[in-house]
């Protein structure tokens, strides 16, 4: 059995070599010719899986190690009798940690206290639910918008999007849908941005085209909103440098790229492939996960406020501004080479472990600030002593 897999999937050879020969390749190099003889195809979000790719091939199962499926023609796979699995929730915690890091960086940059400010969350699925928990741990007041969940549950906690316009921050966690009852393509357009309160911040770590990037640029340049955080971009990987130059935090579609999240994705599609093939799965996870960059962090609570201590811990676990700096160098590259530069940042992304892999030791733990920061850090997922 031949298994073609995206080279950016950790542990994929370890897992799938139990089923057959594993051939790794870049996701953008997957063509009808290169995948024709494959029995299993394992992708990430950059590979468009459709009739043009698979017609006439031997592929009988497709797995995407991502939570989104907008790059997959699900109707075609169904009609062709090709098995399929995504990895919903695999990197949800990673994205929620990214949002946490971004909020704390913006708070430090602008001199804000996050406690008591409001965060509107559009899309309250696997990712959005985790963002709620971490936002509440930071002391933010959350407002939720999710029309499908509102219809399914009737729960009044899901509010009309208009009620989120007055929030200090709005973060997007929706799939990209061009049709259906809840289209999200250019959900955030000039009208949406014009309705946000002055001084607000927009965060997008879902899909690039959920936000009209040119409308966002206009809103930022006119002062309609204060700042923005973009991990995803229209026309990715060839992003617009004028947009990048104006947003406060810019990263190369890596919000969900924690090592833990990527391993989760590999594991989920491995078990799904075994089930599809009628094979008993005998692999559970990577045996030797890399150590976090900072396994133990000691924080001194003397004379410090809780938010600064939390920010220190989060930045030690994940330096979002290192990702920001890496992407900003793209504008020094010739335009025709920027797509390859963007892809290389993702391919060569450093190991990033999630918060639960770090232990924070707080000196002066009997102080009120230390007790508060301990509670916040536990709420964010850290181990605290």
CATH class held by domain 2-86+259-277: alpha beta
Contact 318, 294 (CB under 8 A): no
The per-residue DSSP string of 64-88 comes to ESSS--TTB-HHHHHHHT-EEE--T
Provide the mean pLDDT of the chain: 95
Same-fold call for 2-86+259-277 versus 92-250: yes
Which CATH code fits 92-250? Answer: 3.40.50.720
| In the chain, domain spans | 2-86+259-277, 92-250, 296-384
Length of the chain: 385
In this prediction, residues 73-88 reach a mean pLDDT of 97
DSSP three-state, residue 22: strand
Residue-wise pLDDT tens digits, 234-287: 999 999 999 999 999 999 999 999 999 999 999 999 999 999 999 999 898 777
Cα(305)–Cα(24) distance, integer angstroms: 48
* Catalytically active residues, by annotation: 207, 236, 253
How far apart are alpha carbons 104 and 308 in whole angstroms?
9
Tell me how far apart the alpha carbons of residues 326 and 220 are, in angstroms, rounded to a whole number.
22
Query: Count of CB atoms within 10 A of residue 93's CB?
Result: 24
- Kindly list the distances between the CA atom of residue 326 and the CA atoms of 260, 282, 339, 349, in Å, as whole numbers in the listed order: 21, 39, 14, 10
Helix (H) or strand (E) holding 298: strand 296-300
Average pLDDT of the residues in 37-64: 97
Q: Are 184 and 174 in contact (CB under 8 A)?
A: yes
Total-model pTM: 0.92
- Does 288 have pLDDT greater than 80? no
Q: Give the pLDDT of residue 362.
A: 93
Does 334 score more than 70 pLDDT?
yes
Angle, helices 320-328/92-110, rounded to nearest 10 degrees? 80
Per-residue confidence band for 370, with pLDDT thresholds at 50, 70 and 90: confident
Which residue(s) pair with 188 in the sheet?
211
**pLDDT, position 365:** 59
- Euclidean distance between the first and final Cα of the chain, in Å? 49
> Does residue 178 have a pLDDT over 80?
yes
Provide CATH code, domain 296-384: 3.30.1370.170
Whether 366 shows a pLDDT value over 70: the answer reads: no
Contact 37, 2 (CB under 8 A): yes
């Amino acid at each position: 059995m031949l298994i073609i897999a995206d080279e950016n999937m950790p542990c994929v050879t370890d897992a799938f070599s139990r089923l057959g020969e594993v051939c790794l390749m870049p996701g953008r190099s997957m063509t009808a010719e290169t995948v024709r003889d494959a029995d299993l195809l394992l992708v990430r979000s950059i590979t468009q899986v459709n009739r043009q790719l698979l017609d006439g091939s031997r592929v009988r199962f497709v797995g995407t190690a991502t939570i989104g499926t907008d790059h997959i023609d699900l109707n075609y796979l169904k009609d062709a009798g090709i098995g399929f699995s995504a990895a919903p929730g695999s990197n949800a915690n990673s994205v929620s940690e990214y949002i946490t890091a971004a909020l704390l960086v913006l708070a430090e940059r602008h001199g804000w206290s996050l406690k008591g400010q409001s965060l509107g969350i559009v899309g309250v699925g696997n990712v959005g639910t985790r963002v709620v928990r971490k936002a509440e741990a930071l002391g933010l007041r959350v407002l939720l918008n999710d029309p499908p969940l509102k219809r399914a549950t009737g729960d009044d906690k899901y509010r009309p999007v208009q009620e989120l316009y007055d929030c200090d921050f709005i973060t997007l966690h929706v799939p990209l849908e061009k049709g259906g009852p809840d289209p999200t393509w250019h959900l955030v357009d000039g009208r949406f941005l014009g309705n946000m309160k002055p001084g607000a911040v927009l965060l997008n770590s879902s899909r690039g085209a959920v936000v009209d990037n040119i409308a966002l640029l206009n809103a930022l340049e006119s002062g309609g909103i204060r700042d923005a955080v973009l991990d995803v971009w229209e026309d990715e990987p060839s992003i617009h440098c004028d947009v990048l130059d104006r947003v406060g935090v810019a990263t190369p579609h890596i919000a969900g790229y924690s090592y833990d999240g990527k391993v989760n994705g590999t594991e989920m599609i491995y078990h799904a492939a075994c089930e599809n093939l009628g094979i008993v799965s005998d692999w559970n996870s990577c045996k030797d996960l890399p150590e976090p960059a900072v396994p133990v962090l000691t924080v001194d609570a003397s004379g410090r406020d809780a938010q600064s201590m939390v920010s220190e811990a989060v930045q030690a676990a994940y330096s979002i501004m290192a990702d920001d700096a890496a992407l900003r160098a793209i504008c020094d590259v010739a335009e025709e080479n920027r797509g390859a530069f963007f892809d290389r940042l993702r391919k060569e992304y450093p190991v990033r472990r999630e918060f639960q892999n770090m232990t924070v030791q707080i000196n002066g733990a009997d102080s009120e600030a230390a007790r508060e920061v301990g509670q916040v850090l536990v709420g964010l997922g850290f181990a605290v002593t």
